[in-house]
Amino acid sequence: MSNAFHDKVAVVTGGSAGIGHVTARKIAEGGGTVYITGRDQDAVTAAAADIPGDVIGVRADSRSADDLDRLFAQVERRSGRLDVLVVNAAAIATAPLGTITENVIRTVFDVNITGTIMSVQKALPLLADGGVVVLTGSMAAHKASRGRSLYAASKAGIRALARTWALELTPRGIRVNVVSPGPTDTPGIAQLAATAEEREALIATMGTGTPMTRAATAAAPRPANRSTRCAARSPAGPPCTS
């Protein structure tokens, strides 16, 4: 098991599901303390309990300044500092031009831009010099996809914010980076489809433009047991002993 996060304190916003939840699991597996957020108390509590290690679920809506203040106050009280901030919570919406409403504009930009700015700014006093900020962007910032102009624009904004913040935080040795996942099968993607069949079709379509011609999964890879490993080997190979 990796020790990469030994003694580190991390916050993963939107860590109660999908990519954020797997990210939190990796940090906990590496020995770190992780605070995960989401808007639903029960979901956040269950998601924290699902990860072995020092994982704390905090209900916090990234659009709410009060919620973020409570989150970072809790981190300060319990852990005293923050080393890693992963700003991952986002709103994914489909709205082709001509159908875009004020409500959907506000939802996407409130979470993806305002929420990201507030999350980073409110974490700053607690963030240790030499710490790390990771913003979850998207391939959508570079690649057109029908109906996703608002989401794409918000994720392009994330890249712009990160470049400037990286410059501004250099004196404190804080690195700011963006990860840009490709299409990934997560609860957030599933909720864009009305039925299980639609979801299967959506996931299949999303993967077609990728080198592997399939969407990624947000599930943490679990070590295969011996019989699974052996079954995956060629019968023509040496006897399977491990």
Ligand X SMILES: NC(=O)c1ccc[n+]([C@@H]2O[C@H](COP(=O)([O-])OP(=O)(O)OC[C@H]3O[C@@H](n4cnc5c(N)ncnc54)[C@H](OP(=O)(O)O)[C@@H]3O)[C@@H](O)[C@H]2O)c1
From 5, 35, 72, 151, the catalytic residue: 151
Residue 141 engages ligand X in binding (rule: CB under 6 A):
no
Which sign does the torsion angle of CA 165, 119, 117, 139 carry? positive
Which is closer to ligand X, CB of 94 or CB of 230?
94
Residue 17 engages ligand X in binding (rule: CB under 6 A):
yes
- Enumerate the β-bridge partners of residue 38: 59
Beta strands (DSSP E) in 140-186 are 175-179, 184-185
Which is closer to ligand X, CB of 1 or CB of 65?
65
**Judged by CB under 6 A, which stretch of 1-9, 17-25, 162-170, 224-232 contacts ligand X?**
17-25
Tracing tokens 């409403």 back to the chain, one arrives at: 101
Would residue 35 show up in a list of annotated catalytic residues for this protein? no
H/E stretch holding 59: strand 55-59
Contact map string, positions 24 to 63, toward ligand X, x by CB under 6 A? -------------xxxx--x-----------------xxx
Beta strands (DSSP E) in 62-202 are 82-87, 127-136, 175-179, 184-185
Alpha carbon 165 to chain centroid distance? Answer: 19
Q: Is 6 exposed, middle or buried (0-12, 13-18, 19+ CB in 10 A)?
A: exposed
Q: Which of residues 145-164 bind ligand X (CB under 6 A)?
A: none
Contact map string, positions 184 to 223, toward ligand X, x by CB under 6 A? x-xxxx----------------------------x-----
Residues that bind ligand X (CB under 6 A): 13-14, 16-20, 37-40, 43, 61-63, 88-92, 111, 115, 136, 138, 181, 183-184, 186-189, 218
Active site residues: 151
